[in-house]
């Protein structure tokens, strides 16, 4: 077979595969592969067609947009085609696009550029006639989309309509607006929380969930999903003002109360556009919605008209794709790790894949129920997601690639440690636990946790040294940290006098840590950093906590019966009592606060008040806002209850706390009211 025959065969194969994936993605909202893998197929097809232009067919996926609409909704003919965008994956490709545009322009100059975020959602068209929203449609194949008017009218986020149904007076006779419907991350989290409560499978990602939610036959379902929209372009306008730039367009849309993202930016050079892209990548995981890149557009509309478009994409814009956060790879095996509290967590052993900026070889599978719900099996091709510093996660299998007869994975009955003790799962609990107190995997994790920065903060006692000291028999539990044989450690390779001295100094300094940090280090199940502080503040000493009944522990605001029972059982254990007795006297007599002197120095304006915070508060870190409340005599639990004095609502608040506060009639404060409260102690 000749080279051209081989190329033609491969082009045919790639075209068929891409068309099938287009149908799954655009029409069925059920992508069969990740965006990154799809981009690889598309890029290979583009390169083959560039090398063999005589083989390019009019119906090639490189010449068309999206996929034909489904028959679930009535078809809508777009008066102005909704085109796709060409992609760039590195700076060279971005500059090549700019060079091509310069050569086509009579002036040879691009002028200003508009930089926008590339939202990971579903493209839609909104048509307003005489200011009234009369029709909404999906992009479909760019020429014909689906009528989703009822669903768009139902869009609601945080009890507010996401799309204006009517524009202000003086709006054009016809205005067709392009935008992207997306699911905010907090709405996605709330939806998955609801799925967990109803014991239903979790949704994989916000983009697919948004698309599926928007294309429900029942608009009342769409209304409950918390969808929102960003508008970014005008498709058609009749009777409106004369607009000269894309920047003018965005400002005009804002003036009509249409939601336009505030992070769009006008720049004058490709260098500045590249800096915008770099900033997008840096901010990617700080946004309340998902993005997968940036869009760079030539700002002047007359330049856009001069450049025109190919059969599928405008020449005056390009989408820069950030590194992929989802890839497919082979699931080699499923193992179970034992955590510091005995929790047994299944994890995937993967064929190495570059995703989210690093090579991933392992990923979490959470618990037995998640493995069953996802139905992943060793030997599967699976989709792996890694977002920033988040632990990689297996989203699910690619069923089309599953080998015949692949057996279902079964959760093990015993702990993988040498003692092989049974793994137990209590009713109502999603996780399995090893309850054997001398399980070496638990002890190792507990010692590492005890030395961690948020606990006793023992510098120079990291994971490798903990493993070494356990293997050598120097440490068997956290109490042994304070009786390490330094003379023997000095004899070890890699331990000089200075390194041993540094370790000894850090261990000595840890004896002065607070009661709250000691409680964190004890690693009691269900007890987190915040609830450790609540217990420390309420009881003041370890002796009093150890002697408290379940009822007394549960009376502390923010603790509750489950945590109280866990704390009580921990201190009831003889094995735990023996370990605690090995701790130094200074730690056992630790006070209730890291900063008692500082607390006393500040006016106690919040004394007797219980203030709950949801969302980010300007000027404070997440821990800092709680510390500010406690420093003024107040309590700062993590949940709303009947004892809550007020709820402070910052940026991107959680819906559950807000709803509970409204239900209980608890005062709700904004950031300015909170600042006045901590200064004066008076509720508005």
Which tokens in the block code for residue 429?
């609990």
Q: Tell me which residues are annotated as active site.
A: 118
d(CA 169, CA 153): 20
> How many Å apart are CA 110 and CA 245, to the nearest integer?
12
Closest CA to 6 of 67, 69, 51: 51
User: Angle CA(290)–CA(247)–CA(257) in degrees, nearest 5?
Assistant: 70
Cβ contact 558:635 at 8 Å:
yes
CA 52 to chain centre: 42
Q: Do the Cβ atoms of 450 and 521 come closer than 8 Å?
A: yes
In sequence order, which residues have a C-beta less than 8 Å from that of residue 140 and are 6 or more positions away? 26, 66, 67, 68, 69, 75, 76, 78, 82, 146
Beta bridge partner(s), residue 319: 87, 295
Would you give the DSSP letter of residue 202?
P
Helix (H/G/I), strand (E/B), else coil: 564:
helix
Give the CA distances from residue 221 to residues 34, 216, 658, in Å, rounded to whole numbers and listed in that order.
Answer: 27, 7, 22
Geometric angle at alpha carbon 435, from 431 and 440, rounded to 5°? 105
Contact 139, 82 (CB under 8 A): yes
Both tokens of 209, joined, read 């969930």
User: Cβ(447)–Cβ(477) under 8 Å?
Assistant: yes
Q: Could you tell me if 362 and 392 are in contact, meaning their C-beta atoms sit under 8 angstroms apart?
A: yes
Residue 69 has phi, psi (to 5 degrees) of: -65, 155
């Amino acid at each position: 077979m000749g080279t051209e025959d081989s190329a033609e065969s491969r082009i045919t194969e790639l075209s068929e595969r891409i068309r099938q994936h287009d149908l799954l993605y655009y029409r069925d909202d059920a992508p069969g592969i990740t965006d990154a893998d799809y981009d690889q197929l598309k890029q290979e097809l583009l390169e083959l067609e560039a090398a063999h232009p005589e083989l390019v067919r009019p119906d090639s996926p490189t010449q068309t947009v999206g996929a034909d609409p489904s028959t679930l909704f009535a078809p809508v003919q777009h008066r102005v085609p909704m085109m796709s965008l060409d992609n760039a994956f590195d700076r060279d490709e971005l500059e090549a696009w700019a060079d091509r545009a310069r050569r086509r322009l009579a002036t040879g100059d691009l002028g200003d550029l508009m930089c926008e975020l590339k939202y990971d959602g579903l493209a839609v068209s909104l048509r307003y006639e005489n200011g009234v929203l009369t029709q909404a449609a999906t992009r479909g194949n760019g020429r014909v989309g689906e009528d989703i008017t009822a669903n768009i009218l139902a869009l609601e986020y945080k009890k507010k309509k996401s799309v204006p149904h009517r524009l202000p007076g003086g709006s054009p006779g016809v205005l067709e607006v392009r935008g992207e419907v997306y699911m905010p991350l907090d709405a996605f989290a709330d939806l998955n929380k609801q799925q967990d409560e109803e014991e239903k499978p979790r949704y994989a990602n916000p983009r697919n969930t948004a698309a599926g939610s928007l294309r429900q036959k029942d608009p009342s379902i769409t209304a409950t999903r918390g969808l929102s929209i960003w508008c970014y372009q005008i498709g058609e306008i009749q009777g409106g003002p004369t607009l000269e730039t894309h920047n003018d367009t965005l400002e005009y849309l804002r003036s009509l109360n249409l939601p336009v993202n505030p992070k769009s930016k006008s720049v004058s050079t490709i260098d500045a556009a590249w800096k915008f892209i770099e900033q997008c990548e840096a901010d990617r995981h700080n946004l309340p919605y998902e993005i997968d890149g940036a869009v760079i557009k030539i700002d002047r509309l007359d330049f856009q008209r001069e450049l025109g478009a190919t059969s599928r994409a405008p020449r005056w814009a390009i989408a820069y794709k950030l590194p992929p956060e989802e890839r497919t790879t082979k699931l080699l095996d499923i193992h179970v790790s034992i955590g510091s509290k005995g929790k047994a967590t299944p994890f995937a052993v993967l064929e190495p894949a570059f995703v989210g900026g690093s090579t991933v070889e392992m990923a979490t599978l959470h618990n037995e129920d998640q493995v069953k719900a996802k139905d992943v099996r060793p030997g599967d091709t699976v989709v792996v997601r890694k977002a920033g510093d988040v632990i990689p996660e297996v989203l699910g299998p690619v069923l089309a690639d599953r080998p015949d007869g692949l057996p279902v994975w079964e959760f093990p009955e015993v702990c993988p440690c040498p003692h092989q003790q049974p793994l137990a799962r209590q009713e109502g609990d999603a996780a399995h636990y090893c309850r054997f107190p001398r399980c070496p995997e638990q002890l190792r994790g507990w010692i590492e946790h005890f030395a961690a920065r948020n606990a006793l903060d023992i510098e120079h006692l990291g994971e490798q040294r903990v493993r070494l000291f356990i293997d050598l028999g120097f440490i068997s539990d956290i109490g042994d940290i304070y009786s390490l044989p330094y003379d023997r450690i000095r004899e070890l390779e890699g331990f000089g006098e200075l390194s041993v001295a540094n370790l000894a100094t850090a261990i000595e300094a840890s004896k002065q840590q607070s009661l709250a940090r000691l409680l964190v280090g004890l690693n009691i199940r269900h007890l987190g950093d915040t609830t450790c502080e609540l217990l420390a503040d309420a009881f003041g000493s370890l002796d009093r906590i150890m002697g408290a009944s379940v009822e007394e522990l549960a009376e502390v605001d923010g603790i509750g019966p489950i945590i109280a029972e866990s704390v009580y059982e921990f201190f009831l254990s003889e094995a735990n009592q023996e370990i605690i007795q090995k701790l130094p006297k200074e730690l056992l007599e630790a006070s209730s606060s890291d900063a008692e002197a500082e607390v006393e120095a500040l006016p106690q304006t919040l004394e007797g008040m219980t203030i709950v915070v949801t969302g980010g508060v300007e000027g404070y870190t997440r821990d800092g806002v709680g510390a500010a409340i406690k420093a003024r005599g107040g309590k700062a639990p993590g949940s709303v209850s009947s004892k809550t004095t007020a709820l402070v609502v910052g940026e991107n608040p959680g819906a559950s706390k807000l709803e509970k506060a409204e239900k209980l009639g608890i005062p709700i404060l904004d950031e300015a009211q909170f600042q006045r409260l901590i200064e004066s102690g008076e509720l508005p």
